[in-house]
Amino acid sequence: MKFFTLSKDIGIDLGTSNTLLYMKGKGIILCEPSVIAVNTKSQKVLSVGLEAKNMIGRTSEDIAAVRPLKDGVIANFDLSLQMLKKFFEKATGRKSFKNSNIVVCHPSGITEVEERAINEAVVQGGARKVMLIEEPVAAALGAGLPVDEPTGSMIVDIGGGTTEVATISLGGIVTCKTLRFGGNELDDTIINYVKKEFNILIGEITAENTKIKLGSACAEENAEERNMLITGKDLVTGLPRSITVTERGIREALKEPIASIIEAIRATIEQTPPELSADIMDKGIVLSGGGALLRGLDKLIYNQIHIPVNIAENPLECAVLGAGKCLEIIDMVETD
């Protein structure tokens, strides 16, 4: 039995919206959108990350800017693998995970086939040993919750493609609900709202920007309602047109998907054993993932469920920080 050299150990959060890499002893070494741009004829990779995201909706016929993950899982294996390798190279200067031990997080409740695809992508990337960890556990660890203790912690991780609600105690998930939708669904809802209300088609990047700048889950007392000018394509004339959307209009549009998220929290709490419910009432629910940053979401959840709600310190980083903590805690031991 011998211990691995640990300096090359990597934690990965291969998310629907963002990929983050953590290197043991160094911390987070990469945070980029999970997007890859390829030439559709030669299959050559043109760019990854932010550069590729900026191409979405703006490519010519020969270029495809693709999100290779969907609903938290790998939708296009080859592109996911290529994207991951490029990110790794960008962050470390090395072309493969050779000699690295990897901890990678994935949504809970995925199928064996989906789990195998994630494992395989990392193995084909050259990893020496791979350990998979469920995203809610990683997020809870990264948010600093006492995951290993005999006390109930509740994490609600709202990512781009999944929303995971989990009660965790003694290192494991006790009750959990995974919705195969997250922030991306809120963007789609905004696209549909603008189409219906103004007869204008906007792109997904404009929708996401609108959500981030103007979106809110509930009205703030005494705060002035904000507006925003956005531009899309008039569905009648086919020409570009700018319109003003209001905070109130977007809030109304987002009501339905947000209600589904709150329903999932309620259902998970209902299934949680009484002692653990009492712990959660005491300590509150913790929100992580980019969706946690939606203005007023914490307040709306509190108003409807009457349990204190806290937003994790760095919601977008929780899962990869948890994968990193995992690397620090468990020295991966080679037994063969």
Ligand X SMILES: Nc1ncnc2c1ncn2[C@@H]1O[C@H](COP(=O)(O)OP(=O)(O)OP(=O)(O)O)[C@@H](O)[C@H]1O
Cα–Cα distance for residue pair 43/140, rounded to 1 Å = 39
- CB-based contact 253:193 (threshold 8 Å): yes
Least Å distance, CB 79 to Mg ion, is 18
Indicate whether 189 belongs to the interface with ligand X (CB under 6 A).
Answer: no
Stretch that binds Mg ion, among 83-91, 156-164, 195-203, 275-283 (CB under 5 A): 156-164
216 binds, among Mg ion, ligand X, none (CB under 5 to 8 A by kind): none
In the complex with ligand X, the residue whose CB is nearer, 245 or 316, is: 316
- CB-based contact 201:238 (threshold 8 Å): no
In the complex with ligand X, the residue whose CB is nearer, 13 or 279, is: 13
> CA dihedral defined by 6, 94, 96, 8, rounded to 10 degrees?
10
In the complex with ligand X, the residue whose CB is nearer, 125 or 257, is: 257
33 binds, among ligand X, Mg ion, none (CB under 5 to 8 A by kind): none
Phi/psi for 77 (5° steps) reads -60, -50
Residue closest to 227 by CA, chosen among 235, 215, 217 = 215
In the complex with Mg ion, the residue whose CB is nearer, 31 or 48, is: 31
Least Å distance, CB 334 to ligand X, is 30
247-271 vs 204-214: helix crossing angle, rounded to 10: 80
Q: For residue 217, give the DSSP letter.
A: S
316 binds, among ligand X, Mg ion, none (CB under 5 to 8 A by kind): ligand X
- CB-based contact 22:320 (threshold 8 Å): yes
In the complex with ligand X, the residue whose CB is nearer, 100 or 108, is: 108
Cα–Cα distance for residue pair 182/188, rounded to 1 Å = 10
Cα–Cα distance for residue pair 39/61, rounded to 1 Å = 9
116: left (phi over 0), alpha (psi -120 to 50) or beta: alpha
Least Å distance, CB 90 to ligand X, is 17
Sole binder of ligand X in the list 100, 108, 167, 184 (CB under 6 A): 184
* Sheet strands side by side (includes 172-179): 172-179, 163-169, 153-158, 285-288, 309-311
- CB-based contact 161:69 (threshold 8 Å): yes
Indicate whether 182 belongs to the interface with Mg ion (CB under 5 A).
Answer: no
Sole binder of ligand X in the list 28, 281, 293, 305 (CB under 6 A): 293
In the complex with ligand X, the residue whose CB is nearer, 11 or 72, is: 72
125 binds, among Mg ion, ligand X, none (CB under 5 to 8 A by kind): none
Q: Which two tokens stand for residue 115?
A: 């789990």
Stretch that binds ligand X, among 89-97, 145-153, 157-165, 166-174 (CB under 6 A): 157-165
- CB-based contact 68:52 (threshold 8 Å): no
Indicate whether 15 belongs to the interface with Mg ion (CB under 5 A).
Answer: yes
Least Å distance, CB 213 to Mg ion, is 22
Indicate whether 324 belongs to the interface with ligand X (CB under 6 A).
Answer: no
Stretch that binds ligand X, among 78-86, 112-120, 143-151, 283-291 (CB under 6 A): 283-291
80 binds, among ligand X, Mg ion, none (CB under 5 to 8 A by kind): none
Please report, as ranges, the residues that interact with ligand X according to CB under 6 A: 15-18, 72, 135, 159-162, 182-184, 208, 211-212, 215, 289-291, 293-294, 316
